[in-house]
Amino acid sequence: MSGLAALGVGEGDSVALLLRNDIAFLEASLATGRLGAYAVPINWHAKRNEIEAILKDSGAKILIAHADLAAVFSAAIPTVAVSTPRDIIDAYGLDTKDCRIPAHVPEWESWLGRHDPWARALRRPRGSIVYTSGTTGLPKGIQREACANEAEEQEFTRTLHDNFGIKPGVRSLICGPLYHSMQTANMKAAFGALGEDGVMVIEPRFDPQRLLADIAEHRVTQILMVPVMFVRLLRLEQTIRRRYPLGSLECVVHSAAPCPFEIKRSMIDWFGPVINEFYAASEIGAVALIGSADALRKPGSLGRALPGCTVKVLDAGGKELPAGARGEIAAVNHAYPDFTYRNRPEARAALDRGGLVATGDIGYLDDEGFLFLCGRNSDMVICGGVNVFPAEIEQTLASCPGVADCAVFGIPDEEYGEALAAHIEPQAGFDLTEAEVRAYLRERLPGFKLPRIVRFDDSLPREDSGKIFKRRLRDPYWARTR
């Protein structure tokens, strides 16, 4: 904190973090918040122009970065560099010279050592300015004010603990990218609940066997994951799975992307009834939760509204729809301070639905109040005047033998305006054919929902968070029409 303050960081300012998972991420994020400033985690997979746009939009005074990532930027703002861990160098094939600290940039540990511990009052933390992933367009910075008083801060913290299944003395494993908003929130919440007996393990990247070894070695009780991690865990051979005891686990919570029912059921069979899923958005946090028992009883559901949350399904005019009717999902977590989009208040105003926030998702509530997701407004495809939500086709494809993952999206069609394309990542060892996929879908879907194009890819472009970059798949089709 003293070092950042000496560089001019104060209340309401921004500090950018271009870091892989590292202890320095935790240190910098917590210190920035207690100065009353905003940490700005940046997806280090982003292109240089995207990163520079975030630095400019956030008004960051300082950039804290791993040395190889910082090396590509000019000294437009002060930079503090963190040397890159050895296993990251090995994993990404970087030459060690790329990870040397630039001559004009201070090194993290020595820079910290030059400053005395903070002895002044702590500010109420403001959290982070989180930029949306940009999977469908340019990212927007979500800026949330600090809690107004101590009571609000305590309620906000309690809500985070409930969302992530965190208890005092938690033994938490961080295995997802910390530039993602829910991973950062989970890390901070777990750190605050460690106490004397708690443990936090921060892995630089996800590795399925390493995750099992961490659970066994550190008696991990809580993990936040995404469905693609489940898929990779389930690919491990049974001899490897049986090698590691998992009895310490109390809560494995997941979100960020749809989880096929067969994948979830397999994980519950293996890990036990500790699998929980929440429905959330970076703007509003988690608003619905479903445990293992209800997930098996209500396949595909995202759960019911959490305490202190409101979840509704609205028609195009903003009127609440009855159970079973599909519409726009709008929600609010009343424990979260309100937010805006940095430098774009009009974009925030466009989401207001009478005090609720439009999520951009289409879904419905059943007669027990369980939420089901049909797709995103932005993903909706209009085929000959008929609305089609790709998520429905994706859910069907996910149950097809031999399909590891898939993405369905709209492409131009001269006759119908739009048609559907399905890109499929096959499971290892399966010789899946287009004819088999089409036959499987034809038995389960009406003709207007069948993809015109079925294509197989060795892997689908995705973020570490598990979200597929549909834009990268979709753009080449639409580029031909320009």
Domain with CATH 3.40.50.12780 in the chain: 150-376
Residue 193 has pLDDT above 90, yes or no: yes
For residue range 49-98, list pLDDT tens digits in order.
778 889 999 999 999 988 888 776 655 577 887 776 555 544 444 444 55
Q: pLDDT category, 99, cuts 50, 70, 90?
A: low
Q: Residues of CATH 3.30.300.30 domain(s) within the chain?
A: 380-479
Taking the C-alpha atoms of residue 409 and residue 388, their distance in angstroms, rounded to an integer, is 10
d(CA 21, CA 464): 11
Model pTM greater than 0.85?
A: no
Distance in angstroms between the alpha carbons of the first and the last residue of the chain: 51
Alpha-carbon span 86 to 172, nearest angstrom: 23
Compute φ and ψ for 370, nearest 5 degrees. Answer: -80, 135
DSSP strands (E only) in 97-148: 130-131, 141-144
Q: What is the DSSP string of 201-237?
A: EE-SS--HHHHHHHHHHHT--EEEE-HHHHHHHHTS-
Instruction: Quote the tokens at residue 469.
Output: 């970059």
**Spatial separation of the C-alpha atoms in residues 14 and 390, rounded to whole Å:** 38
- Distant-in-sequence, close-in-space partners of 478: CB < 8 Å, separation ≥ 6: 411, 412
pLDDT classification of 136: cutoffs 50, 70, 90: very low
pLDDT of residue 92: 45
pLDDT of 141 = 93
Question: For residues 102 and 162, what is the distance between their CA atoms, to the nearest angstrom?
Answer: 43
pLDDT digits (tens, 9 = 90+) for 385-444: 677 878 889 888 988 999 988 999 999 887 677 889 999 999 888 889 999 999 999 998
Q: What is the pLDDT of residue 293?
A: 97
State residue 238's pLDDT score: 95
pLDDT in tens, 356-373: 999 988 899 999 999 998
- How many Å apart are CA 64 and CA 23, to the nearest integer? 12
Structure tokens at 29: 């994020």
CB 80 within 8 A of CB 33: no
**pLDDT score, position 132:** 78
Q: Give CA–CA dist 7/278, Å, rounded.
A: 39
E-strand stretches of 132-198: 141-144, 171-174
pLDDT at res. 429:
84
CA distance linking residue 336 with residue 341, whole number of Å:
15
Given a contact cutoff of 8 angstroms between Cβ atoms, the answer to whether 226 and 465 are in contact is yes
Q: Average pLDDT, stretch 169-180?
A: 93
Instruction: Point out which residues pair with 273 in neighbouring strands.
Output: none
Q: What is the pLDDT of residue 251?
A: 97
Q: Which CATH class is domain 380-479?
A: alpha beta
Q: Report whether 137 contacts 165 (CB < 8 A).
A: no
- Tell me the β-bridge partners of 279: 288
* Residues paired with residue 419 on neighbouring β-strands, in sequence order: 411
If one counts every other C-beta atom within 10 angstroms of the C-beta of residue 318, the result is 15
Q: How open is the CA angle 409-341-49, to the nearest 5 degrees?
A: 65
* Tokens describing residue 352: 């207001």
Topology of 2-128 in CATH?
Rossmann fold (3.40.50)
Is the pLDDT at 258 greater than 80, yes or no? no
Cβ atoms 285, 155 nearer than 8 A:
no
List of residues 6+ apart from 273 with CB closer than 8 A? 291, 292, 293
Residue 257 pLDDT grade (very low, low, confident, very high; cuts 50, 70, 90): confident
Within 10 Å of residue 339's Cβ, how many Cβ atoms?
21
Query: Is CATH 3.40.50.12780 correct for 150-376?
Result: yes
In this predicted model, what pLDDT tens digit does every residue of 459-470 receive, in sequence order?
898 876 667 888
- In angstroms, rounded to a whole number, what is the distance separating the alpha carbons of residues 285 and 182? 8
CB 417 within 8 A of CB 382: yes
The Cα–Cα gap between 338 and 283 comes to 9
Q: Where in the chain is the domain with CATH 3.40.50.980?
A: 2-128
Q: Write down the mean pLDDT value for the chain.
A: 87
Q: What is the pLDDT of residue 135?
A: 43
